[in-house]
Amino acid sequence: MVDRDADFSAYVAARWTSLVRMAVFLGCSIEEAQDLTQTALMRCYVAWKRVQRAENPDSYVYRVLINCHRDVWPRRSSHEVPGKTPVPEVPLSEQAPDGGDLAATTDAIHRALAELSSEARAVVVLRHLLQLSEQETADALAVPVGTVKSRLSRALSRLADSEHLLEMRGDLP
């Protein structure tokens, strides 16, 4: 139990950022992404032996995150009005210092990827942004390597024509 806790804690510390970013790129707000990541990591803790024994633990965890997103977040389309809210089961992490930039960044991400299906987004994140191998990406998505290649190719073609990315590029130094 102690080994599991230490191993799990180290994994969370190392992978938290990439998991939250992945959730945002899948379509969540930053708060939803933190919530989704916590849900996925708790599921992994319960099956931690399986994670440790997996050929690629990262692929396993990313797959749990993607499944959580598909299962738990299919219809979320609204945001809370700030106010007194129940104590969360797991506390949220610190917000970005500048809430306005954060909102603009997440909005830009969602607009840029709006034309992609959730499967295509997952391929872009895993293969292109997280730099997993084709096999690791296929393992995470539970699809053949050929499907990874074709999805990525189509996704990148669509992104190449994305007006939102063209606009963003214009704003960057």
Partner 1 sequence: MTTNHQPCLEELWEQLPAGSPPVEALLASARLRVRRRRLLASMCTVAVLAVGIGTALTFAGRPDSSVGPSNSGLAALDVQQGHRLVGIAQAAIQVPQAWSFNAASCNVPIRDTSFFPWDQGCQRDTVDGVSSVAITADRPEVRQPYSDGASAGGEPVIETDLTCNGPAPTCTQVFGIPPLNAYFSVSIQGDGAQQTVQDMRKSLTVIPSAYTTVPFVPGGSLAAVRDALQKSGLQVNVEHSSCPSTGNCQPGVVSTDPPAGTVLPTASAVSVQVLDG
State the helix-helix crossing angle for 134-141 and 145-160, rounded to 10 degrees.
100
Of residues 112 and 132, the one with the C-beta less far from partner 1: 112
- 86: tokens are 């129940």
> Which of these segments, 50-58, 114-122, 140-148, 159-167, binds partner 1 (CB under 8 A)?
159-167
Is residue 114 involved in binding partner 1 (CB under 8 A)?
Answer: no
Sign of the four-CA dihedral 91, 96, 97, 98: negative
The piece of 50-58, 60-68, 132-140, 161-169 that touches partner 1 (CB under 8 A) is: 161-169
Which 80-99 positions form the footprint of partner 1 (CB under 8 A)?
Answer: 80-96
Q: Scanning the structure block, which residue is given the tokens 């970013």?
A: 21
Among 76, 103, 114, 144, binds partner 1 (CB under 8 A): 76
Mention every residue, 6+ apart, whose C-beta is less than 8 A from residue 168.
Answer: 108, 112
Burial class (CB in 10 A: 0-12, 13-18, 19+), 85: exposed
Q: Is 118 in the site for partner 1 (CB under 8 A)?
A: no
DSSP-assigned letter for residue 114: T
**40: Cβ contacts below 8 Å, ≥ 6 apart:** 19, 61, 64, 65, 68
Q: Cβ 8 to partner 1, closest distance in Å? A: 7
Q: Which residues bind partner 1 (CB under 8 A)?
A: 5, 8-9, 12-13, 16-21, 24-25, 30, 33-34, 38, 41-42, 45-46, 72, 74-96, 101-102, 105-106, 108-109, 112, 124, 128-129, 156, 159-160, 162, 165, 168-169, 172
